Amino acid sequence: MSAPRTTTQDEVVPPERGDLVVFSHLRWDFVFQRPQHLMSRLAEYWRVWFVEEPVPSDAPGWIIDAVAPNVLVCRPRTGRSEPGFASPQAERLIPLVRSLLEAHGVQRPVVWLYTPLATPLLAAVPASAVVYDCMDELSAFLNAPPELLARETELLDAADVVFTGGPSLYRAKRSRHPAVHCFPSSVEVEHFARARVCAEAEDQAALPRPRLGFYGVIDERLDTALIDTVARRRPDWQLVMVGPVVKIDPASLPRRPNIAYVGMRSYEALPSYLAGWDVCLLPFARNEATRFISPTKTLEYMAAGKPIVSTSIRDVAQPYGDLVAIADDAPAFVAACERALAEDHQQRQRRLAAYADILGRTSWEETVAAMRALLEARLRPVAPIPAADAAPVEQAAGGP
């Protein structure tokens, strides 16, 4: 991915096929995951306006960055300090979003939502189609706004097509809309296969072996008690936790000499951490927040060629239970890790062959092609939006 830079109106050239306006609760420069993979590829067909939640400021306007070819991250400045898309913030954003689209001559806009809280913003866009890409059950997450469920009902009524991030979410949504399609997150195989040959990250190279690792957001979805018990039972193992701590108090995390929290690392750096791990972990808690998750990192761990041990997350256990060791309590989890570490050459070769079969049947490119076909079949003709004066644009920090 190209490095973020500031864009100007003159540099924004709409492609022949129009525009895609995305409303996301996840910031582009946070953990690189499903939205970034999809949008950076859909940008081959549409000019992508990735609208994030507002940033505090004294005056309304926009900060716009070109973060990838034909992908523009748009941060609204509302002149107020309220975070997120929740009411009444979303209603206040309607005229601001409308001015952005008018200023840049947005044509035939498709609207793509990752959060139901942004549903009121549909009033700002004369959409040719509305997509709800449901990658998580956000209402089950810690500190979820109480209006989420009502907003989701509104979004399902407005959407032309609904995509879900895994089988569990598909089963939960399929009766609520006539066009729900299951698109589990895929994997960039070549990127994570680098872990099989690249040098490992310098800041973990001095840690003892064996190393058991996890990367991702560290929040209420992790079973911290399990992590603590595994580390206590096997002080000779090093547990490496890569990722930002979000929504929970960092002081609540287990602290032991053999647990290393290295913080957030870039998507580019992840293979170098995987390169130094002997076992990859999916130590998720079993609670409402994990009931519908479908971890993208499962396939990424496979592409890296590593054995995997997971708790009984449904979207891991059901499709991959014959390849991923499943264990919930600490004794079983430790035993599964011990078996993974003791794997012999023949077992490893059989596992890698099975991984290759799974990975050969999926790619982000195939996912995008299938999504785009479903979406284009539902496009409605929309009159062009006339160009107007440009909305205020501020140079982003670090831009040229």
Residue 17 is predicted with a pLDDT of 61
Residue 107 has pLDDT above 80, yes or no: no
Share of the chain above pLDDT 90, in %: 80
| 288, burial (CB in 10 Å: exposed 0-12, middle 13-18, buried 19+) | middle
Its CATH architecture, for the domain 189-359, is 3-Layer(aba) Sandwich (3.40)
- Please tell me the class of the 5-185+363-385 domain: alpha beta
Show the DSSP H helices in 106-235 as ranges: 148-158, 167-173, 189-193, 224-233
CATH topology identical between 5-185+363-385 and 189-359 = yes
pLDDT band at 392; cut points 50, 70, 90: low
Rg (CA), the chain: 22
Residue 16 has pLDDT above 80, yes or no: no
Distance CA 223, CA 214 (A): 12
Residue 12 has pLDDT above 50, yes or no: no
Distance CA 189, CA 123 (A): 39
Tens digits of residue pLDDT in 275-285: 999 999 999 99
Q: Which has more confidence, 77 or 223?
A: 223
Tens digits of residue pLDDT in 147-173: 999 999 999 999 999 999 999 999 999
Residue 238 is predicted with a pLDDT of 98
The domain ranges of the chain are 5-185+363-385, 189-359
Residue found by looking up tokens 């990722």 in the block:
243
Q: What is the mean pLDDT of residues 284-289?
A: 93
Residue 91 has pLDDT above 60, yes or no: yes
Distance CA 8, CA 390 (A): 10
Question: Taking the model in full, what pTM does it have?
Answer: 0.89
pLDDT band at 144; cut points 50, 70, 90: confident
| 279, burial (CB in 10 Å: exposed 0-12, middle 13-18, buried 19+) | buried
**Alpha carbon distances (Å) from 280 to 12, 20, 144, 239:** 42, 36, 29, 10
CB atoms within 10 A of CB 345: 7
Q: What is the mean pLDDT of residues 98-110?
A: 90
